[in-house]
Amino acid sequence: AQSVTQPDIHITVSEGASLELRCNYSYGATPYLFWYVQSPGQGLQLLLKYFSGDTLVQGIKGFEAEFKRSQSSFNLRKPSVHWSDAAEYFCAVGAEAAGNKLTFGGGTRVLVKP
């Protein structure tokens, strides 16, 4: 069975500072990995995805993530955070063998200090 762990429930970061959100997954085969962002009261917006190939993937809004198979991780990073990045971030894993359903982590809420 697939599982995703996001160890940090809350992270507070100053505007302009760098941000890293951790994600660890468990799956027997090569997974497909995703990061979604959810602003308050809003839906889920895809930030970036990893299917295969280059392990460093670029997404929207200046985000990037790196797939590290040896660590079963897919951490999300942004070099300089903007106040509009305050939201909840979800890591998710999917796989064809699992019908492409997504298994989500518990989410990390990011607060941005001015």
Residues found near another protein in the complex (CB under 8 A): 32, 34, 36, 42-46, 49, 51-52, 90, 92, 94, 96, 99-107
- CB 63, min distance to another protein, A: 15
Q: In the chain, how many H helices and how many E strands? A: 0, 12
- CB 100, min distance to another protein, A: 6
* Cα–Cα dist 112/82, whole Å: 7
- CB 43, min distance to another protein, A: 4
* Cα–Cα dist 105/27, whole Å: 13
Instruction: Pick the closer one to another protein by CB: 86 or 98.
Output: 98
Instruction: Pick the closer one to another protein by CB: 81 or 87.
Output: 87
Q: Give, in order, the Cα–Cα distances in Å from 82 to each of 34, 71, 78.
A: 21, 29, 10
- CB 4, min distance to another protein, A: 9
Of 33, 31, 46, which Cα lies nearest the Cα of 95?
31
Instruction: Pick the closer one to another protein by CB: 5 or 75.
Output: 5
